Structure 1
């Protein structure tokens, strides 16, 4: 997958409660361990979903399913993600549980990272789309590594910024959190549409 294909998908993965959670955890009491645990949980769930989708795609090819059929599955998943994002656009307030992240534990943070990046609808569909897309392109599953690593880097960004800039970062992070909270659904729609266009080009080309 090229960088132009990966970057929009990464934005979809993190734009919403995922990045907001990373910001909250970066300013929690035990922020170093919490942030590391959150990213670790995310790494595990993303990798599992991509690998499972890839394995299912390989199995489908082995049973005679056409590669264009896999591209169609990717397209349907992305369109579903667009509809879900639009329907939930008015839910601009962060979930109530985010208010408890200031006193989160590493165990809770790991579980949160695993669940948010593994079963949150847009993330689940995006990771599955990556695995299926690689099969349709006859690419190895290891080609998903840049997608996974870049997603994790973005999730780790709040804590990395805090490490680098200290007090100045503490003043900026809430502003970033508020902007993401207000505009995440628009960002998601734009980047999903971009990948839909890429998938259509693959399907029709």
Structure 2
């Protein structure tokens, strides 16, 4: 996979996704539940990219997606539509910032076991509209470059690595991380609208100028 598409891995985990990872490392069974969460993330993104690649193949068979260098190609038109939808989403988050609250299910993660952590890993990737859009973008990119799932492995690996950063931080920094992570968790929870806007803007920049 070409390097310009790799930064999309950052947006895959921004929002409730990374908040979940941070919450899990502040639980009593941090390592166990975090590893289960990462397993769910890895499975969800692998299956998601595979499905979106299949959808891109179907679209490519029905309509010529063209090359990335052709600004008017169907594949690039799909990306432009996605940019428009993301811009609207960012505007919606900005207008609703005064009353924005994180999803209520995040508050239940402190008591989650490994099975629930695995399920959450699947859900925060497989059911999040922003991640579905990103994986569709990756699928279109792969189709335009006549690439397959193998070329998507760096993107998948980088996404899982980003998801693992809170756990790695706790393992390497130990007591300092244990003290800092709850503060990070609380800040992200109280500024979820800002995180969502940052995700949309970053995604727009990557698609418009990178991928």
**Within-5 A mapping of 1:48-59:** 48-59=47-58
Where do 1:7-22 residues align within 5 Å?
7=7, 9-22=8-21
- Contact 2:65–2:76 (CA under 8 A) maintained in structure 1: no
Higher mean C-alpha displacement, 148-157 vs 67-76: 67-76
Q: Matches of 2:150 and 2:83 in 1, distance apart?
A: 22
- Unaligned 5+ residue runs, structure 1? none
Task: Give the CA deviation at 1:52.
Answer: 1.2
Task: State the match for 2:208 in structure 1.
Answer: 197
Go from structure 1 to structure 2 and tell me whether the alpha carbon gap of 1:34 and 1:93 turns closer, same or farther (over 3 Å shift): same
Deviation at 1:64, TM superposition (A): 4.9
Question: By how many angstroms is 1:36 displaced?
Answer: 1.0
Deviation at 1:193, TM superposition (A): 1.9
**CA-to-aligned-CA distance 1:56-86 (integer Å, 9 cap, x gap):** 2223333453322122223323432332243
Question: Are the structure 2 counterparts of residues 92 and 164 from structure 1 closer, same or farther at C-alpha, using a change threshold of 3 Å?
Answer: farther
SS of alignment partner, residue 38 of structure 2: helix
How far, CA to CA, are the matches of 2:90 and 2:120 in structure 1? Answer: 20
* Structure 1 residue 3 corresponds to structure 2 residue 14: no
1:75 alignment partner, one of 72, 80, 83: 80
For residues 206 and 155 of structure 2, the distance between their equivalents in structure 1, rounded to whole angstroms, comes to 14
CA distance in structure 2 between the aligned counterparts of 1:11 and 1:179, rounded to whole angstroms: 19
Match of 1:136 among 127, 131, 144: 144
Report the secondary structure of 2:6's partner residue.
helix
Q: Counterparts of 2:166 and 2:188 in 1: how far apart (Å)?
A: 13
Name the structure where helix makes up a greater proportion of residues: 1
Check whether the contact 2:9–2:159 (CA below 8 A) recurs between aligned residues.
yes
Q: What is the alpha-carbon root mean square deviation over aligned residues?
A: 2.1
Query: Residues 74 and 47 from structure 1, CA distance in 2 versus in 1: closer, same or farther, beyond 3 angstroms?
Result: farther
> Is 2:133 the partner of 1:122?
no
Tell which deviates more after alignment, 70-79 or 26-35: 70-79
Question: So what's the TM-score if we normalise by structure 1?
Answer: 0.86
2:62 is aligned with 1:84: no
Alignment match, 2:169 = 161
Give ranges in structure 2 of 5+ residues lacking alignment: 67-72
Distance 1:33 1:78 in 2: 38
Contact kept? 1:13, 1:126, Cα under 8 Å: yes
Q: Could you state the TM-score of these two structures normalised by the residue count of structure 2?
A: 0.84
Cα shift readout 1:102-147 (whole Å, capped 9, x = no counterpart) = 1101111111110111111111111111111111122222221111
Q: Greater CA deviation, 181-190 or 143-152? A: 181-190
